[in-house]
Chains A and B, each alone.
Chain A
Amino acid sequence: MSLLELTARQLRDGIAAGQIKSIDAVTEVFGRIDAHDPTIGAYITTFKEAAMESAFAVDARIAAGNPIGPLAGVPIAVKDNMCMQIGSTTCASKILADFRSPYDAHVIEKLTDADAVILGKTNLDEFAMGSSTENSGLKQTVNPWNTTRVPGGSSGGSAAAVAARLCWAALGSDTGGSIRQPASFCGVTGLKPTYGRVSRYGLVAYGSSLDQIGPLTRDVTDTALLMNVIAGHDQRDSTSVSESQASVPDYLADLEEPIQGLKIAVVSHLNEGAETEVADAIGAALQVYKDRGAELVEVEMPHFDYAIACYYVIATAEASSNLARYDGVHYGHRTTDADDYVQVYSKSRAEGFGAEVKRRIMLGTYALSSGYYDAYYLKALKVRNLIRQDFTKAFEQADCVIMPVSPTTAFKIGEKTADPLQMYLADVYTLAANMAGVPSVSIPCGFDKVGLPVGLQILSGPFTEDRLLRIARMYEKQTDWLTRQPPL
C-alpha cells in the first residue's frame, strides 16, 4: 500500500513504531509532487534536500531509541505567509518575491520541535487577500477535483496540497474564511481556531484583529493532532491567550467521545441562501446528527448578514496600516525608477502589489481617513459587536451552530475575477467567525452533481475547539466521504 493513503496520525504512528521510515514517506511524496504539482500548482517552493535531511534525522533517532515528537517524520506543507529561514517567504507577492526571513514563525518552531518534516511553502492569494488563490502574484493553483475550478482561497495551495496528497497535512491562515472555504472547495478538513489560541508571531499580518493560523488536514483526527502541536501561549504575540486564561486541552484525548445531549443551533434563512445542492447537503448532515440523538434549535442571528460589509471595512483598514511597512527601504522590492524618496515608496508599492492588494489598501485608507472614520470604521466596529452578541446568544441555547461554508461549490477559474464585489459576497458564511473570534471548522459533507466537494461549517464558543472537533468527529464517523479522492 502506498504511504500516501495513510492519514498523518497513521503515518506518525507507523514511523514511531519503526514500521515506516520517514525518508520513504518523503521520497514518495516528492515523487507525487514532481508528477502532479506542475498541474495543481500548490507549492511556491519545495525544500527537498532539507526535508530529506530532517527525515533521515528522525529515522536515526528512532533507530537509536531516542525520544521523538508528536509529528515525528510527518511531511507537512506551510502557507507561504509564515516566516521561515529556509527559502523565501513571498506571501505570493512580487513585493516579497526575494524576501528571506531572518527568523522562523512560532508555528514553524512548534512544527520543528514536534519533529515534523516541512516539505515547502504553498500558494495563496497575495497577502492572503482573496477567496480563490487567483490573486497570487506568482502562480495559479487549481482544484484537484476539477482543474478548471479554483481551489478556494486564500489558503488554496495548502488545501489543494492536502486534497491531492502532495503532503500529509498543511498550515493555513484564516482572516475571513481563508482556511475553511478552500478546505470546503477541496474536500478536506480545515479549522480556524479561536482568535488568540495560536500565536501569530511570524505570520505576515493582514487583518491583525482577525488573522489566525490553523490546520488543513485529511480528517478531524489529524486536525486534533496538529492543534496539539501549534496551540498555546507565546509571549512574542501579545494577543496570544495565556493558558491560565484558557487552558490548552489534549485535542485527541476525548475525540472519539460523542457529546451527550448535543444541541445544534440552526439559522434557517442562512441555509436557504445557499445553492440547492449545498443546502441539501447541509440538511442531510443535520439529519445525521438528529439520528445520533442531537436536538436542533432554531435561532436568529439578525446581524449575520452584515458581516460582509463589516469585514471589508475592518479588514481593509487593518491591512492599509499593516501593509504600510512595504516601503522599498527595509526589505522587499524597490523601484529602480525613483527621483526622490516619495517615489521610492509610491513606485515600489505600485510595482510590487497586485490589483486586489491595492484595492484593499485604498479602501482601508479611505475608511480611516479624516471625515470618513466615524461613518465607516467606527460604524463597522459597532456592528462587529452586534455580530458577536448574536453568537453569544446562540451559544447560550446550543453547543454549536451549523451552516454552509460557502453558498456554492468551487467556482470556475476566472468566473469572479472581473467583479471584486461578487468575489467578496462569496464569503458570506465565513466572515462572522472572525468578527466574533470564535472557532469554526469545515468538514466534507458531500458532493454536488459534477463531483465537487461540499463543506459543512460548525462553529462553537471561544476556546472550545476540543468539543468542536468531537462534534465534527461524530459526523465524520457516520459518513464515508473521506474514501473519495480527486481523479489525478
Chain B
Amino acid sequence: MGHKIDIDQVRRVAKLSRLELTEPEIEQFTGELSEILRYVEKLNELDTSQVLPLAHCLPIHNVFRDDQIRPSLSTDRALANAPDREGEFYKVPKILDDNSGA
C-alpha cells in the first residue's frame, strides 16, 4: 500500500470493470477512491504476519447433490428478460468484424 491511485489507474480500473465513465466521473472517482484508499491504509497498523485469511466466517464445506434431473426454467422463461433474442438465443452485436475471415 502507501499508494495513491492516479487518474490513469482509474481509467484502467474502469476498463477492467467494463464501465464507460465520463471524464468528470473519472476525475471525481480519482479523488474519492484516493481518499477511501488512504483510509483503508489503517489496516497496515496491524501486524498480520501470523494471521490466516478468513474468507468465510463459518466452516464452509463442499456441498454435493445427486446428479439427477430436476425441474428447471424453460428456455422461454429463462430468455424472457433478454434485451434482445432470436429464437432460443440471446442476440448480441457482431463479435468478429467483417474482415476477420471468420
For residue B19, which residues in chain A have a CB less than 8 angstroms away from its CB?
346, 349-350, 353, 358, 361-362
> Which of B14, B21, B36, B63 has its CB near the most chain A CB atoms (within 10 A)?
B36
Closest CB pairs A-B (n = 6): A437-B57, A331-B81, A381-B53, A334-B83, A385-B54, A382-B48
A332 to B80, CA, bound (A): 11
Contact B53 A350 (CB under 8 A): no
Q: Which residue of A lies closest to B90 (CB)?
A: A329
The 27 sampled A-B contact pairs (Cβ below 8 Å) are A98-B81, A102-B80, A102-B81, A103-B73, A238-B63, A239-B58, A309-B39, A313-B40, A324-B18, A332-B83, A341-B93, A346-B15, A350-B21, A358-B17, A358-B25, A358-B29, A361-B17, A362-B14, A363-B37, A366-B33, A376-B40, A383-B43, A386-B46, A420-B36, A436-B57, A437-B57, A437-B58
A214 to B60, CA, bound (A): 21
Contact B53 A385 (CB under 8 A): yes
Least CB distance, B54 to chain A, in whole angstroms: 4
Instruction: Please judge, given known A-B contacts A366-B9, A379-B44, whether A350 and B55 are in contact too, CB under 8 Å.
Output: no
Contact A382 B80 (CB under 8 A): no
A158 to B33, CA, bound (A): 30
Instruction: Please judge, given known A-B contacts A102-B78, A361-B19, A363-B33, whether A462 and B42 are in contact too, CB under 8 Å.
Output: no
Is there a chain A Cβ closer than 8 Å to B102's Cβ?
A: no
> Which of A332, A344, A383 has its CB near the most chain B CB atoms (within 10 A)?
A383
Tell me how many residues of B have a C-beta within 8 Å of chain A. Answer: 54
Least CB distance, A309 to chain B, in whole angstroms: 5
A 352-377 binary contact with B (CB < 8 Å = 1; else 0): 01010011011101100100100110
Contact B43 A359 (CB under 8 A): no
A333 to B82, CA, bound (A): 9
Least CB distance, A83 to chain B, in whole angstroms: 12
Least CB distance, A329 to chain B, in whole angstroms: 6
Is there a chain B Cβ closer than 8 Å to A289's Cβ?
A: no
> Which of B15, B20, B32, B82 has its CB near the most chain A CB atoms (within 10 A)?
B20
Contact A386 B48 (CB under 8 A): yes
Q: Which residue of B lies closest to A101 (CB)?
A: B81
Contact of B42 among A238, A309, A340, A349 (CB under 8 A): A309
A359 to B43, CA, bound (A): 20
Contact B57 A195 (CB under 8 A): yes
Is there a chain A Cβ closer than 8 Å to B69's Cβ?
A: no
Is there a chain B Cβ closer than 8 Å to A473's Cβ?
A: no
A350 to B17, CA, bound (A): 10
> Which of A320, A376, A388 has its CB near the most chain B CB atoms (within 10 A)?
A376
Is there a chain B Cβ closer than 8 Å to A100's Cβ?
A: yes
Q: Which residue of B lies closest to A339 (CB)?
A: B93
Contact B1 A375 (CB under 8 A): yes
Instruction: Please judge, given known A-B contacts A102-B77, A361-B17, whether A344 and B93 are in contact too, CB under 8 Å.
Output: yes
Chain A contact residues, CB within 8 Å of chain B: 98-100, 102-103, 195-196, 209, 235, 238-239, 241, 303, 306, 308-310, 312-313, 320, 324, 327-334, 338-347, 349-350, 353, 355, 358-359, 361-363, 365-366, 369, 372, 375-376, 378-386, 388, 420-421, 424, 435-438, 462
A350 to B14, CA, bound (A): 10
A353 to B14, CA, bound (A): 13
Contact B33 A379 (CB under 8 A): no
Known: A102-B80, A437-B57. 8 other contacts (CB 8 A): A103-B73, A195-B57, A308-B39, A334-B83, A345-B18, A346-B15, A379-B43, A384-B53
Contact of A385 among B29, B51, B77, B84 (CB under 8 A): B51
Least CB distance, B40 to chain A, in whole angstroms: 5
Is there a chain A Cβ closer than 8 Å to B27's Cβ?
A: no
Within 8 A of A (CB), among B44-102: 44-46, 48, 51-58, 60, 63, 65, 73, 77-78, 80-84, 90, 92-95
Contact A421 B36 (CB under 8 A): yes
Contact of B48 among A332, A349, A365, A379 (CB under 8 A): A379
Q: Which residue of B lies closest to A386 (CB)?
A: B51
For residue B45, which residues in chain A have a CB less than 8 angstroms away from its CB?
306
For residue B93, which residues in chain A have a CB less than 8 angstroms away from its CB?
338-341, 344
Least CB distance, B87 to chain A, in whole angstroms: 16
Contact A366 B13 (CB under 8 A): yes
Contact B56 A239 (CB under 8 A): yes
Contact B20 A347 (CB under 8 A): yes
Contact B29 A306 (CB under 8 A): no
For residue A350, which residues in chain B have a CB less than 8 angstroms away from its CB?
19-21
Contact A341 B18 (CB under 8 A): no
Least CB distance, A427 to chain B, in whole angstroms: 13
For residue A303, which residues in chain B have a CB less than 8 angstroms away from its CB?
46
A103 to B81, CA, bound (A): 12
Q: Which residue of A lies closest to B25 (CB)?
A: A358
Q: Which residue of B lies closest to A361 (CB)?
A: B17
Contact A359 B95 (CB under 8 A): no
For residue B77, which residues in chain A have a CB less than 8 angstroms away from its CB?
102
Least CB distance, B81 to chain A, in whole angstroms: 3
